[in-house]
Each structure stands twice: as structure tokens, then as C-alpha cells.
Amino acid sequence: MNTANAQTISLKFNESKIEIIDQTLLPFTEQWIDITDPKDAVLAIKNLKVRGAPLIGVVASLCFGIFCRKENNKQQRLFWWEQLITSRPTAVNLVHFMNEIKPLVDSETSGELIFKKAYSFFKSDQSMCDKMASIGAEVLIQKLGLVELPNKQFSLLTHCNTGGLATAGQGTALSVIKNMGLKFSQMMTYVDETRPLLQGARLTTWELGHTKQKYKLICDNMAGFLMMQKKVDAVLVGADRITSTGDSANKIGTYSLAVLCHYHKIPFYIVAPTTTIDSLLKFGSEIPIEERSPNEVRGFASSKESLQWALEEVEVYNPSFDWVPSSLITGWITEDGYYEKEDLAQGSFAKYQKAGVI
């Protein structure tokens, strides 16, 4: 297994060390930090230096794999396994990856095998991203008629950050966008700033700039006016959870975008690995929606600075996610292939019984 010098936009890796880009300092400072033992990983995860469920899962499991090659003591291994799996309770891939490793720890498997298992998660995430990028580009080229008109000017729109800062590969929706941008130099992407945490403004702009793609940042409330002016040809977003019927939960604001696309007859795609599909759920209404701190809406806080513009006593409604009914979704781009509503009606998503288990 050749693992030397593996590198993504957010992760550098060789067999003894992981480095991650400190996402709390982006977009202003590109600082890489060493993750040499599980304690470093736990701290980086807790302090949000690494974000995105797939990326967190890969960093934690890889770091644990490296640790187990040096540490044979079962109690020590179990202690750090526990610390890592609880470091970010909402990161579904972290829980799944660590749970897959658990039997190896229990059976006192060699560190080398545990490392190999962790490494397979990394490679699998990268490979899923590459497949989505490739399948998504095929779908868009067909849908936008780019075979017949390869020089057509067109624009995509995306929400939040679904790129190499969220995954251990190229990303989900953003992997498709970056792949399309490489193929079509006349393409440009509108990036929703994505209030309240501004992942679009801070991270997606940085990532698209880093990879020399053309984009423009907008406030979330400008998307409709762009569509009215026929300036958006397709919208691509990620998903946190997809039900058997295709209802898809994603960052707050996604539902509004889907309605706007429906009204303007603009194709709206979900790009997500099949590990996101939880076919034990049928409808989006079954997905619990977390409400987050009102302070996120009363102002904005980065790792270094904060600014409040609404009074402390201002009441807030701050759901972190919403969900889009499958009726508003043109298609689902996964690493396993492209699906439309007709496919789902025939049970295409039913086989993904256990969400998150690769």
C-alpha cells in the first residue's frame, strides 16, 4: 500500500503523521497543524479546526490507526477510541468509522491492520468524491446541452461548503462544480454566503479561489433575483441525510433554493455519497432538526473576532438544517450512480439500509 505524500486541500498524510489545515483561521491564514497523536485529533475536532463529517471521520480514524501501530496496550487503545468517538457527537461518519474499527480493538488486532482499516476509509472517501465528480459532470453536460454547445456560457449555484474542506477528497456538490470548472472555462459559480455560519463566504470562496475557479459570492436572499434574470443554470447542494423516498436534509436555506428552482424550472441536484441514505426513514419530516444558539443569528463570531448587531434580548429561530421533499429534486448524484424520482419509486434507495456504514 502506497500511502506516502497523500494530500488534499485540507489534509496531508504520510504513514506516521497527519497534518490538517486549521479551518478556524480560514480564509485569512493557511496554517497547517500536526496531528501526531489522538489527543491532538480530539482537540482539533473539539476546537472546530477540522470540520465536515467525512473529514472528521477520516482524521480521527487515521490518527487512531497510526497510534495503534505504536501502542499495543488494549486499555490505552480503548481509552483513546472512546475519546475520539465522542469528540463530535453529530459527526455521523466519525461514529461509523470508529464503530467499524472497534471489533479490531476488542480482538487486539495488530496495529498494522487497524491502520489499514482506517486508511481504507480515507481512500474510500476520496474515491466516492471522485466518482461523484465524474458522474455529476456527465449529468450536467447532458442536462445543460454542453455536448452540442461546448462553449455555452453557464452558471451554477451552490450553498454552504461541500468541498475538500468537508471531506477527505474533492467534496460532494463542490467536487462536481470543480470538475465542471476544469472542463468548461466559461463556467462560473454563484456561492451563497450561507448564514448564519457563513461557510460559503468563508470556505467555499477560499476553496474555489485556491483551485482557480470563477465564482461570485452572494447573500442568500439574492439567489431568487439571479434566477429571475436567468443567471443560474443549475443548483447543486450536498446532503446530511436522505430518506428512502429521496427527501433530503441539508444546511438551512436549501429548501428555499429548491422552491426557487422549481418555480424557475432550474434543475436542482443533491450530490451525496450513498452513506448519507438512511432508508429506515421514509420522509424528511422524520429527520430531527437541531435548533442552534440564538447568538449565531444575533451576530457573527470567528475564532478570533466577533461582532454582534442585534440585542441580547432579541428572540431568534435558528434551525441548523431544513429538508427538501423529493418532489422538488431533479436528481441525486451518488458515487453509485445518478438517480431520478422514477428510480427511487422503484426502490433504488432501499438497499442502503444502514446509513453511514461503508
Residues lying near its own copies in the complex (CB under 8 A) are found at 27-28, 190, 192-196, 198, 201-202, 205-206, 209, 214-226, 228, 252-253, 255-256, 259-260, 262-263, 297-298, 300, 302, 305-307, 309-311, 313-319, 322
Give whichever of 104 and 226 is closer to its own copies, judged by the CB atom.
Answer: 226
CB of 203 to its own copies, least distance (A): 10
75 is written with which cell numbers?
Answer: 486499555
233 in catalytic set: no
DSSP string, 155-181: EEEE-S--STTTSSSS-SHHHHHHHHH
CB of 239 to its own copies, least distance (A): 15
Q: Give the Cα separation of 28 and 22 in Å (integer).
A: 11
Q: Give the Cα separation of 31 and 277 in Å (integer).
A: 34
Give whichever of 116 and 210 is closer to its own copies, judged by the CB atom.
Answer: 210
Buried b or exposed e, range 31-47, using 16+ CB within 10 angstroms: eebebeebebbbebbee
CB of 329 to its own copies, least distance (A): 14
Give whichever of 38 and 200 is closer to its own copies, judged by the CB atom.
Answer: 200
Q: Give the Cα separation of 107 and 333 in Å (integer).
A: 38
Give whichever of 117 and 178 is closer to its own copies, judged by the CB atom.
Answer: 178
CB of 242 to its own copies, least distance (A): 17
CB of 200 to its own copies, least distance (A): 9
What number of CA atoms fall less than 13 Å from residue 158's CA on the CB side? 31
Apex CA 42: angle with CA 36 and CA 43, to 5°? 90
Q: Give the Cα separation of 211 and 204 in Å (integer).
A: 11
Return all residues near 263 (Cβ < 8 A) that are at least 6 apart.
227
On the question of a cis peptide bond just before residue 319, with omega within 30 degrees of 0, the verdict is no
Give whichever of 93 and 330 is closer to its own copies, judged by the CB atom.
Answer: 330
Q: What is the DSSP letter of 115?
A: H
- Considering only CA atoms, which of 150, 161, 339, 316 is closest in space to residue 246? 339
* Per annotation, catalytic residue among 240, 247, 278, 322: 240
Give whichever of 142 and 153 is closer to its own copies, judged by the CB atom.
Answer: 153
CB of 45 to its own copies, least distance (A): 22
CA dihedral 255, 257, 263, 268 (to 10 degrees): -90
Q: Which residues are catalytic?
A: 240
